[in-house]
Amino acid sequence: MSERQNTAVCSVGPKSPRISPLDIDEWIFEQLHVPESVVTMVKMDGTRLQVYIKFTDSQYLQDLFHSTTDQSE
């Protein structure tokens, strides 16, 4: 089994309106205030309603968790 390092898994609510990749990008950079330079990969799993965001460094991941108190809309 592989280990996900420096990756945040964000769940999309089942009652949310359909979201596009552009919506996800805007949400990451405008709402979460994550600099584009620290994101190495964004992957959407539509069947599980999850978005994976991989960071260059674990510090950015920790900063995200602290700034959102583990939840964000």
Check residue 2 and give its pLDDT: 57
**Residue pointed to by tokens 């979460």:** 32
- List pLDDT tens digits, range 18-36: 888 899 999 888 888 888 8
* pTM value > 0.75: yes
Check residue 58 and give its pLDDT: 87
- List pLDDT tens digits, range 33-47: 888 899 999 999 887
Residue 28 in contact with residue 42, Cβ under 8 Å?
Answer: yes
Name the residue ranges covered by the structural domains of the chain.
7-68
* Cα 55 to Cα 37: distance, rounded to the nearest angstrom: 9
Check residue 67 and give its pLDDT: 79
Facing residues of 45 across strands? 50
Q: What is the mean pLDDT of the chain?
A: 83
